[in-house]
Amino acid sequence: MLITGIIGYPLETTYSPRMHTAAFRAKKIDGVYLRIPVEPTRLKDVLDALGVIGCRGVNVTNPHKETVLLFLNRISKEAQEVGAVNTVVFDEDGLSGYNTDVYGFRVLLEHADIDLQGKNVLMIGAGGVAKAAAWVLKQYQPDRLYVHDIERAKAEALASRFDAATVIPADALQTTLNNTAMVINASPVDFQDDVTPFMQRGSLYLDLNYKFPLRRHGNIRCINGLEMLLYQGVRAFEIFTGEKAPVAVMQKALGMNHD
């Protein structure tokens, strides 16, 4: 049996098990995808135990995307540059880390069809998923990336990886919102009603969460992170199994419309 799963804490909301379980069935793979809550102090012990039972790989979500780097034997070039890992594979000679959030966010942006060159972007939150998003954003050549996090040190760490980035405090958010083409919510908090009233007409609110229902906010486009979840999962499935992912099946499992 192919043992896979997701580790995080507290794992209150995750759609990954339904997506991967559906993919295993469609591909006739004898596999299981487990939900594994792991407190931060137990991360290494759980990784060791998963290796002992023959686990093939796990996805990694908050709060472990950055700390898991300490326990890996190999890290992909992309994940090293991002500074976060969301997919771990158990090989015979150790643990390998990848970042499939990068692929998921890239597809999400492509489908959003937004021109960011020479424009400003605001990132709320500066954790592992924000690092992946910022890494992809470089290719879109925005004029400036504004970063806000309640932990200023985390915001500064993310900004240091982006040439044209500025850390802003909470009292500067409203002014910044008036001059941004896109706001990315990479925090676990629902900010829709707090930020959209101050955004430019025609701008994009991109919530990397998928647990918050999207609401209409005048002429602001609002997109959630469900498509990012799908495509990071597609890439992770292919890493775990070595087979092409059944994308349409995974979309359906997430309740998404597909062509």
- Name the pLDDT band for 258 (thresholds 50, 70, 90): low
- Cβ-in-10-Å burial (0-12, 13-18, 19+) of 30 comes to exposed
3-state helix, strand, coil in the chain (%, to 5): 40, 20, 35
Q: How many Å apart are CA 7 and CA 59, to the nearest integer?
A: 6
> Does residue 254 register a pLDDT over 70?
yes
> Any idea which of 126-130, 138-142, 214-218 has the lowest mean pLDDT?
214-218
What pLDDT is stored for residue 142 in this prediction? 96
Q: Express as a percent the part of the chain with pLDDT over 90.
A: 93
Q: Express as a percent the part of the chain with pLDDT over 70.
A: 99
Q: How many Å apart are CA 259 and CA 256, to the nearest integer?
A: 10
Catalytic residue positions, numbered: 65
What pLDDT is stored for residue 218 in this prediction? 85
- Name the pLDDT band for 235 (thresholds 50, 70, 90): very high
pLDDT in tens, 7-30: 999 998 899 999 999 999 999 999
Tell me the sheet residues that pair with 57. Answer: 4, 89
pTM: 0.95
Could you tell me which residues come within 8 angstroms of residue 30 by beta carbon, excluding any fewer than 6 positions away? 1, 2, 24
> Does residue 257 register a pLDDT over 90?
no
Q: How many Å apart are CA 98 and CA 236, to the nearest integer?
A: 9
pLDDT in tens, 238-250: 999 999 999 999 9
Q: Which domains does the chain have, with CATH numbers?
A: 2-100+228-253 (3.40.50.10860), 103-224 (3.40.50.720)
What pLDDT is stored for residue 217 in this prediction? 83
What pLDDT is stored for residue 13 in this prediction? 87
pLDDT in tens, 45-92: 999 999 999 999 999 999 999 999 999 999 999 999 999 999 999 999
